[in-house]
Amino acid sequence: MNYIIKNATLVNEGKTTLASVVISDDKITKIIFGKNDFCDGNVIDATGLYLIPGIIDEHVHFREPGLTQKADIYTESRAAVAGGVTSYMEMPNTSPQTTTQELLQQKFDLAAQKSAANYSFYLGATNDNIAEIVKTDPKKVCGIKLFMGSSTGNMLVNENDALIRLFNESPCLIATHCEDEQIIHENTVCCKDLVSKGEVIPDAGIHPFVRTTEACYKSTAKAVDMATRFGTRLHIMHISTKSELTLFRNDIPLKDKKITAETCPHYLTFCDKDYDEKGFAIKCNPAIKMASDREILRKAIVDGHIDTIGTDHAPHLWHEKFTDDYFTAKSGFPSIQNSLDIMLNLYHQDLISLTKIVELMCHNPATLYQIKGRGFIREGYYADLVLVDLNHEKVIKNDDMLYKCGWTPYDGMTVKSQVTHTFVNGNLVYHDGIVEDNIIGKPLEFER
């Protein structure tokens, strides 16, 4: 179907301008600047609304296959488009873990049947699957996911020879989870001992003392050192500490960087003081740290030390999170439906500009991953577009979430913006609070 989005405030490539956008089939065919008076065809009057490129979330866990009691591609992709996310890249720690080309293809096949948003999937690295990794098609697959910290099953890569081969031979970008396993293990043993003696209460507040700044920095520094030695394209995910920022550059353009960094909305929103109110709802790995870390991270998204915003969307069932025991409460939480809301709250607090939010959530993921035809509002690009009302205050509620798990750590938070329309490949997939059920996204393509 063809559409004309009329008289929107376009936020794109560092500028904010009044414009109308013409969509034909799946592409943007014309951008007309200034005020226009279109009246024929499928015209959406966007007067007073802001038009941005579709958000590209390069860090999600949709739990399919094998963990679909928590989430699946169908439910979470619909939550994504309701939040303005038109493309996602999904992680390999499902069941079975995505560590072979065959299992990777099975995920693509699932998404082709049920994903409302565009998609790609990471192949997971292990200590012994380099033969599978080197077969990866860099034009189809977003990257290789490397866990250099605690994970499940066979996905912790801790053998030096395996790391050397991976950094030397990976055919595409390596995305890492960086926490030092030995430090976490020692801290966990210590905390369990203190709990057994009654000296520490096993609540959520001990999480940043188990998964410490030291654990993050040591592992991140190791990954950066290896990538530097081998010239590897490395993206460090979910940066949570101010100390790690010293390992990244902000003095060269993104297109020239080989080592880049991501943080998440929750590290920009919460801090250690929020464990008292939120408890295990905000337990995640790496841990949410101190208020001083949050403040420096907020500066880093503006000054270029942080290159992208991903959600680390990681649903768990309510009873898996809300227990009485720190050591059994699951880490991770859902967030993809709220990520733009949360980032726009920072805009309303004068902490970041609209153009910088679009750069971090739309332009930079497209540039960093070399995604074909997405991430920008340009003629000839796919019509992945989002209309936002910046003057629509609402309270985030669990009951309004489309997540399969049915809850969010942002429950009860007031936000000042609202996604009104989301287009995926020129299709109006979300509007008036409704996700159209017959629209399927496309696999992402990479120009590598």
| Predicted confidence (pLDDT) at residue 245 exceeds the cutoff of 70 | yes
**pLDDT per residue over 62-103, tens digit each?**
999 999 999 999 999 999 999 999 999 999 999 999 999 999
Q: What is the length of the chain?
A: 448
**What pLDDT digit, counting tens, does each position of 325-371 carry?**
999 999 999 999 999 999 999 999 999 999 999 999 999 999 999 99
Average pLDDT of the residues in 32-59: 94
Answer yes or no: is pLDDT of 58 > 90.
yes
What fold characterizes domain 3-51+381-392+415-435?
Urease, subunit C; domain 1 (2.30.40)
Q: In the predicted model, what is the mean pLDDT of residues 211-233?
A: 97
291 vs 80: CA distance, rounded Å? 29
Question: Which secondary structure element, helix H or strand E, spans residue 131, and what is its range?
Answer: helix 130-133
Split at pLDDT 50, 70, 90, the class of 155 is confident
Q: Tell me the whole-structure pTM to 2 decimals.
A: 0.97
For 109-150, the pLDDT digits (tens) are 999 999 999 999 999 999 999 999 999 999 999 999 999 866
Domain ranges of the chain: 3-51+381-392+415-435, 54-369
| pLDDT at residue number 189 | 97
Which three-class secondary structure state does DSSP give residue 221? Answer: helix
Q: CA 16, CA 317: separation in Å to the nearest integer? A: 41
| DSSP type of residue 365 | H
Helix axes 73-82, 101-114, angle to 10 degrees: 60
Classify domain 54-369 at the CATH superfamily level: Metal-dependent hydrolases (3.20.20.140)
pLDDT over 90, % of the chain? 95
The pLDDT of residue 405 is: 98
How many percent of the chain have pLDDT more than 70?
99
pLDDT value at position 150? 62
Whether 151 has a pLDDT exceeding 60, the answer reads: no
Average pLDDT over residues 155-162: 88
Average pLDDT of span 150-162 = 76
Contacting residues for 442 by C-beta, under 8 A, at least 6 apart = 118, 119, 425
Given pLDDT bands bounded at 50, 70 and 90, which one contains residue 156?
confident
Average per-residue pLDDT for the chain: 96
If we measure between CA atoms, which residue out of 392, 390, 403 comes closest to residue 335? 403
Question: Which residues are 85's β-sheet partners?
Answer: 55
Helices of type H across 211-321: 213-230, 265-269, 275-278, 291-303, 318-321
Where does the pLDDT of residue 38 fall: very low under 50, low under 70, confident under 90, or very high at 90 and above?
confident
| Alpha-carbon separation of residue 186 from 10, 24, 193, 209, 326 (angstroms) | 51, 58, 11, 11, 16
Q: Give 37's pLDDT tier (boundaries 50, 70, 90).
A: confident
Helix count and strand count (H, E) for the chain: 14, 20
pLDDT, residue 223, reads 97
pLDDT tens figures, 283-296: 999 999 999 999 99
Residues 6+ apart with CB under 8 A from 163: 148, 157, 226
CB of 63 closer than 8 Å to CB of 75: no
